Amino acid sequence: MKLATFVHDGKRRSGIVAGDRIHPFPHPVELHELIAEGAEPLREAGERARTGSQPVALTEVRLLPPLQPPTVRDFMTFESHVAGVAQGYGDTVPDEWYAAPAFYFTNPYAMIGAHDDVPVPPGCGRFDFELEVAAVIGKEGRDLTPEQAREHIVGYTILNDWSARDLQGREMRVKLGPAKAKDTATTLGPWLVTTDELEPHRDQEGFLDLALTVHVNGETIGQDRLTSMAWTFEEMVAYASRGTWVRPGDVLGSGTCGNGGCLAELWGRTGVLELTPLIPGDTVTMSVEGIGTISNTVVEGVAPTPVRKARRREGSSGRERVGTIGSRPGTGPAQA
């Protein structure tokens, strides 16, 4: 099934996508509520909608993010993307990347729909996109094995992790970022495709073999396949659940694909801004085989609200060695 959330005639609804139409659920319900009820009730609700409700043309609705996730973990699972960005800093892929599927938590309140405008983040001068696929959790669990994790994934959607690269570069020097660099918008859509729809695309190693493409203003910028991931989504869910819970509606992004999945990778490989940062009027279109297409146009953002710089401690140079509780003498501060 393809499950969508949308606005029609001023009303927010959810339903099943069939061809170029949406069949609304007979009774208004949030998609994450249906997901939390379990796979069988979700399937039954979909069948009732498909056979018992009056369909609406996709051209007559505004697609919203399929669901409002309680948490969003964004991973980095494409080695070629990591290598390309690292090259821009004269670096290589760190050994630590190969040890485990790294991720960060991003803003669940920044979700936008498949065709919504996206504002330039306040103070950003180097705006970028990131082509990803996201898995959505359908059943809670913790300390899962990859084999167990498969039954905890309800479906997949496209994710565009919009990024303010200049802000990100400054923030990550503090060893905690990214923060405001990823805080303004994340596209989810166009809908949630349940796992059974994509199962025919699974290869022998457990990866989904899907083609990924991104265009800017109609020009092809990047192409990759989801099989280029270093870890499967099941392995990512298992790692995310280590020592904690994953719950219905949680979103886990694959991380940016390689071969031009974002401008930063291309800048890193060439050493120049051969492809210019995004500006108002640019349209970014992403397609994933078996899922669909999202397309967002960049618009002017707002000016940053001023916040004063840090108050320095009297006599501080800002470069003093600071000890950390539990650290050994001479080892310096711990890094988060």
Q: What are 42-89's pLDDT values in tens digits?
A: 999 999 999 988 999 999 999 999 999 999 999 999 999 999 999 988
Phi, psi of 60 (to 5 degrees): -100, 5
Phi, psi of 236 (to 5 degrees): -65, -45
* Pair 124, 258 in one domain: yes
Compute the residue count for the chain: 336
The answer for residues whose C-beta is within 8 angstroms of residue 213's C-beta and 6 or more apart is 131, 220, 222, 223, 286, 287, 288
Q: Which of 10, 44, 64 is the last residue of a domain?
A: 64
* Pair 143, 179 in one domain: yes
The predicted pLDDT at position 321 comes to: 52
Find the domain containing 53 and state its range. Answer: 2-64
Average pLDDT value for residue range 136-154: 98
* Pair 131, 14 in one domain: no
In whole angstroms, give the CA distance from residue 287 to residue 58. Answer: 17
For residue 19, being part of any structural domain is answered with: yes
* Pair 54, 195 in one domain: no
CB atoms within 10 A of CB 65: 26
For residue 168, which of 286, 88, 287 has the smallest C-alpha distance? Answer: 88
* Pair 23, 130 in one domain: no
Q: pLDDT band at 334, cuts 50/70/90?
A: very low
* Pair 60, 146 in one domain: no
* Pair 141, 52 in one domain: no
Count of domains in the chain?
2
Tokens representing 7 are 């606005």
For residue 324, being part of any structural domain is answered with: no
* Pair 130, 263 in one domain: yes
Model confidence, pTM: 0.92
Contact predicate 185/110, CB 8 Å: yes
* Pair 82, 124 in one domain: yes
* Pair 114, 256 in one domain: yes
* Pair 181, 244 in one domain: yes
